[in-house]
């Protein structure tokens, strides 16, 4: 069974500081990996995804993530956080196929201090 672990429930960073959100996955084959962001009371917005190819993927809003197969990780990074980045971040794993289900991690709540 596929699973996702986000070890950090809550992270606080200062505006302008760098950010790294951790994500570890468990999947029996090559995973499809996603990072989503959710603002309070809202749906999910896709930040970036990895299917194959270059293991460093660029996303929207200045985010990037690196797929490391040997560590079963897909950590999300941003070099300089903005106050508007405060939200809940979810890592998800899915498989191949035309209609693969996604399994989400428990989320990391990001707080940004000014």
Partner 1 sequence: GAVVSQHPSWVICKSGTSVKIECRSLDFQATTMFWYRQFPKQSLMLMATSNEGSKATYEQGVEKDKFLINHASLTLSTLTVTSAHPEDSSFYICSAHQGLAGGGGGYEQYFGPGTRLTVT
Binding residues (CB under 8 A) for partner 1: these are 32, 34, 36, 41-46, 49, 51-52, 90, 94, 96-107, 109
Q: Least distance in Å: CB of 17 to partner 1?
A: 24
Minimum CB distance to partner 1 smaller for 62 or for 95: 95
Separation CA 114–CA 109 (nearest Å): 16
Phi/psi at 22 (5° precision): -90, 145
Sign of CA dihedral 54, 99, 63, 30: negative
Q: Least distance in Å: CB of 43 to partner 1?
A: 4
Minimum CB distance to partner 1 smaller for 81 or for 107: 107
- Ranges of H-type helices in 4-113: none
Minimum CB distance to partner 1 smaller for 19 or for 57: 57
Q: Least distance in Å: CB of 71 to partner 1?
A: 22
Per-residue DSSP letters for 8-41?
-SEEEEETTS-EEE--EEE-SSPPEEEEEEE-TT
Minimum CB distance to partner 1 smaller for 43 or for 114: 43
């Amino acid at each position: 069974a596929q699973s996702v672990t986000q070890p950090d429930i809550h992270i606080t960073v200062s505006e302008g500081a760098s950010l790294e959100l951790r994500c570890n996955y468990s999947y029996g084959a090559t995973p499809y990996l996603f990072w989503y962001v959710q603002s309070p009371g809202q749906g999910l917005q896709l930040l970036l995804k990895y299917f194959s190819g270059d293991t460093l993927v660029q996303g929207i809003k200045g985010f990037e993530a690196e797929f490391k197969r040997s560590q079963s990780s897909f950590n999300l990074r941003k070099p300089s956080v903005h106050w508007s980045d405060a939200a809940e971040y979810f890592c998800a794993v899915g498989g191949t196929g035309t209609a693969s289900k996604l399994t989400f991690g428990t989320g990391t709540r990001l707080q940004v201090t000014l």
